[in-house]
Structure 1
């Protein structure tokens, strides 16, 4: 292996590792706040990339209809609750809160010349479509079972992922897509070529990680989420609305997933069912962090990316096996060094 190959494999591993780091951080965040193992985190990535690819093709993405349907169901749920509690005066507020953004996007996408729209606006439209799906999924699937066991919440996650895979096939078809690169620049480092797109992905991913660190460490809202993650009952006693914390955690997870999909779209071809494998590798990194430590999860993600990259060179047929085998020694170590704690009821 010469220096050029080593450099290529290293930058490929760091690029994919940066994406896995974002996925791992989202999984750890959602699990800490809601006890949900978010199996469908990778679906946000796939749906974001496919939505952007559809917009770049000049067509209205199918995720818009998913957003409209989900928002309508959440709105109907809140209206039924308001009627039962005799708070009919809140119905216009629920209609405005839940349906204004989806209807605005529907009107915009139906009247804009998507084929000639600026690339930055397509990215913003993609974020506006995909990010609200996170709180919608929480309200429809997880909030009614918020007090259930972790096992039941995991079963709900698997069911939601299976539904999203079916919807993805219906909305986007079986064909894979790759979005347009944000930059074609590159430079030489000795005999090795460094791609500007790879550096852009790593740089933006690191900025997002730093932004999350500042949000949780130095903002009141981030500290409230950390308090909910540390002690859900204690957070309720001091007045932190845990339902809002759950929606916020899913909002951040969808934001991270949508950004990850936009970043990874120009690098690899994504299909309607690509999210599951992405989630699994992010979950491996999250397990390395014990589903609790953000720095360890991020470090584990870069390790997973590098191991996957070099394994694809030395033993491409077994690269997935090698990556997922990392879980075994980590689980053994955690089982020997941690004490079992009964789940709160």
Structure 2
């Protein structure tokens, strides 16, 4: 290995690590607020990439019907819940707005020539289609059992992941897809050529991480989510809705997952079942951070990306084994140094 190869591998490692860092932060965010390990996070990555690819091919994805169906189920559950608490005009308006939003997307996608609109509009339309699935998913599958034990929440999360993989196969088929890069230019840095898409990934990842930090430190809603993460009961007593916190965190996780998929789609070919491995590597970074520390998790995720990149050079057949073996010493260390308490305490 010479210096040029090392720089190229480092470039790939930082690019992948930036995506893993975003997913690690999403996993920690959702877990600390809701106690849910969001296994289906990787499906938002692959759905974002494959939806963007279908738009560039001029094909309206059937995912819009999935969103409409889930929104109908969401509205039905909310309306049924109002039977016990009494009808609320404001909630009925919200239900109507949700249904109107989903129906409007269906009409919009059938009226547009998807392969002719600008790439930014394609990315925005992908976001508008996929991000609302996050809070709707929480409302349907997790909100009714929000007070259950973490093991029950994990089992439901795995079930949702398996269902989403099946939906992905049904909607997108077994073939992989790759999208066009945002720009075709390259930056010369000595003997190494940096691809513009790599710079896009790193730049957008840094912007998202900084934006999340500012949102949680400076905004009222961010502080409310932090309060829920620190003390759920105390936050509830202060008037912070745990249902709102759960939906907000799932929306943020979906946004980050879809953004990650759009960013890496021009770099690598993604399949309907590629999301699990991607999110699992983000989970390794989250474990390095103890499912608590955002900075340590981000650093750990970048380290995972670097180890993966250099493992491809030295032992490509064993790169996945090497990456996932990293989790063992951190689990042992966390187990030996942490104090074990019951979940109810």
- Shared fold (TM-score, shorter chain, > 0.5): yes
Does the CA-based 8 Å contact 1:42-1:276 persist in structure 2?
yes
Match of 1:255?
Answer: 255
* Deviates most, 316-325 or 81-90: 81-90
Note the 1:103-182 alignment, pairs <5 A: 103-182=103-182
Task: Tell me, in whole angstroms, the C-alpha distance in 2 between the residues paired with 1:102 and 1:15.
Answer: 34
Backbone CA RMSD of aligned residues: 1.2
1:268, distance to aligned residue in structure 2 (A) = 0.6
Q: CA deviation at 1:214?
A: 0.6
Moved more, 182-191 or 226-235: 182-191
Residue 242 of structure 1: CA displacement?
A: 1.0
Where do 1:327-338 residues align within 5 Å? 327-338=327-338
Return 5+ residue gaps in structure 1 as ranges.
Answer: none
Q: CA deviation at 1:94?
A: 4.2
Number of the residue aligned with 1:76: 76
1:208, 1:316 → 2: CA distance?
31
C-alpha distance in 2, partners of 1:117/1:342?
Answer: 54
Is contact 1:51–1:62 with CA below 8 Å preserved after alignment?
no
| Counterpart-to-counterpart distance in 2, 1:38 and 1:229 | 15
Listed as ranges, the matches of 1:237-276 within 5 Å are: 237-276=237-276
Conserved? CA contact 1:4–1:193, under 8 Å: no
CA shift at 1:97, angstroms?
2.7
The answer to which of 173-182 and 91-100 deviates more is 91-100
**Structure 2 residues not aligned, in runs of 5+:** none
Give deviations 1:308-341, integer Å, cap 9, x for gaps: 0000110000000000001111011111211112
Structure 2 distance, partners of 1:218, 1:339, is 32
Please state whether the residue corresponding to 1:175 is helix, strand or coil.
coil
C-alpha deviation, 1:90, in angstroms: 5.7
**Contact (CA 8 Å) 2:45, 2:259: kept in 1 or not?**
yes
CA contact (8 A) 2:8 2:192 kept: yes
Q: Following TM superposition, by how much is the alpha carbon of 1:118 offset from its aligned partner in structure 2, in angstroms?
A: 1.3
TM-score w.r.t. length of structure 2: 0.98
1:192 and 2:185 matched: no
Contact kept in structure 1, 2:131 and 2:254, CA below 8 Å: yes
- Map of 2:23 onto structure 1: 23
How far apart, CA to CA, are the structure 1 residues paired with 2:200 and 2:118?
Answer: 19
CA contact (8 A) 1:23 1:257 kept: yes
> Where in structure 2 are the equivalents of 1:9-48 lying within 5 Å?
9-48=9-48
How many residues in Structure 1 have an aligned counterpart in Structure 2?
345
TM-score by length of 1: 0.98
Moved more, 308-317 or 178-187: 178-187
1:117 deviates by 1.1
Which stretches of structure 1, 4 residues or more, deviate above 3 A after TM superposition? 83-86, 88-92
Query: Equivalents in 2 of 1:333, 1:284: separation in Å?
Result: 14
Shift of 1:115: 2.1
Q: 1:237 to 1:95 in 2, by over 3 A?
A: closer
Give the CA deviation at 1:89. 4.7
Instruction: Please state how far the C-alpha of 1:112 moved relative to its aligned partner.
Output: 1.1
CA distance in 1, matches of 2:190, 2:241: 55
Q: Which residue of 2 aligns with 1:313?
A: 313
Using the alignment, how far apart are the partners of 2:266 and 2:215 within structure 1?
Answer: 28
1:92: Cα distance to partner? 4.3
Find the aligned partners of 1:208 and 1:89 in 2 and give their Cα distance. Answer: 36
Q: CA deviation at 1:170?
A: 0.3
Tell me how far apart the structure 2 counterparts of residues 93 and 82 of structure 1 sit (CA, whole Å).
13
Greater alpha carbon shift after TM alignment, 54-63 vs 151-160: 54-63
Contact 1:29 1:249 in 2 (8 A): yes
8 Å Cα contact 1:3/1:192 also seen in 2: no
